Amino acid sequence: MSTPPPGKLGLPELAVKKRRGEKIVMVTAYDSPGARFAEDAGIDILLVGDTAAMVVLGHESTTVPVTVEEMLFLTRTVARVARRPIVVGDMPFGSYEVSDEEAVSNAVRFVKEGGADVVKLEGAGTSVSRAHAIVAAGIPVMGHIGLTPQSATMLGGFKTQGKTAARALELVNEAIELERAGCFSLVLEAVPAAVSARITELLEIPTFGIGGGPGCDGQVLVYHDLLGLTEGHLPRFVKRYANLSAEIRDALTSYAEEVRSGAFPDDEHSYSMDEDELAEFEAALEKQPRIHDLRRLYE
């Protein structure tokens, strides 16, 4: 990996924050305005998540349909304007499962073509091998265990993971394996708070909860969920900090009404012209032969 540009939050600083007990903030971002707003708010990490499949691209499934090309486009858009936050390229389903070689190849694309600082993989199991290979290629990896949406069918649906002692112990072992593979951080999704807290204590790398409780080193939420852009049922772990969908809909309704009534645009939102110049323009226009030809055509 090349040296981060001046002002970019370095990965070692995340580990320092963990040791100091300072919470780390991550949020998803999919476009330049979202990235700019997040940076202005002091967000530490921007995750260009494969949740874009649903919240941006309109698919019914949250993850599986999105392609590498689509994720590269979104990642480039975010990386183009992000200065301080670490940009995480979320590798979509099918981009790393086949082999270590293909995983490394696609991870390289996220860095070279997408401008990502790091990449994220879901699951443990074969992902441990993939993470190790990608890290060996010089690309930092963020792991993700618990509820992993790309493999939700195998997990029995979108359900809390680690609710039994046996499954909780499996999660602990998965977390340790991913840390040993070289992951610089770990997302814990829909995991009981007590289990997340124990995993966080056991690991030297930072953990990020999304439904993982307050014991994690940081938190991550989907941009559209926390701003109230997503409508309908939301997971238990989502907290709305705004209700922008209502404001946007009201604004668009008002705009449509004013256009149809003629109230918009008015003089305030139109450009004027010097009276003498206008008179000269009208006189010259009347002398144009085509104007008279058109009049005769429609008479």
Please report, for the domain that includes residue 78, its CATH number. 3.20.20.60
The overall pTM is greater than 0.85: yes
Q: Cβ(45)–Cβ(26) under 8 Å?
A: yes
70 is catalytic: no
Characterize 67-93 residue by residue with b for buried, 16 or more Cβ atoms within 10 angstroms of its Cβ, and e for exposed.
Answer: ebebbbebbbbbbebbeebbbbbbbbb
The predicted structure's pLDDT at residue 155: 41
User: Residue 25 is which amino acid?
Assistant: V
Of the listed 22, 102, 189, 277, which one is catalytic? 189
* Assigned domain for 285 exists: no
The predicted structure's pLDDT at residue 157: 47
* Assigned domain for 23 exists: yes
Strands (E), the chain: 24-28, 45-48, 86-90, 118-120, 141-146, 185-189, 207-210, 218-221
The size of the chain, in residues, is 299
Provide the domain count of the chain.
1
* Assigned domain for 98 exists: yes
Q: How many CB atoms lie within 10 A of CB 180?
A: 11
Please compute, for residue 89, the number of CA atoms within 13 A of its CA located in the half-sphere on the CB side: 32
The predicted structure's pLDDT at residue 156: 44
> For tokens 């990965």, what's the residue?
11
> What would the two tokens of residue 224 be?
């559209």
The predicted structure's pLDDT at residue 152: 44
* Assigned domain for 297 exists: no
Q: Average pLDDT for consecutive 10-residue bins of the chain (299 residues)?
A: 76 97 98 97 97 90 83 98 97 94 98 98 88 98 86 52 92 97 97 97 98 97 95 87 96 98 96 96 82 59
* Assigned domain for 291 exists: no
Q: 3-state SS of the chain: helix, strand, coil percent to 5? A: 45, 10, 40
Question: Which is nearest to 231 in space by CA: 32, 37, 54?
Answer: 54
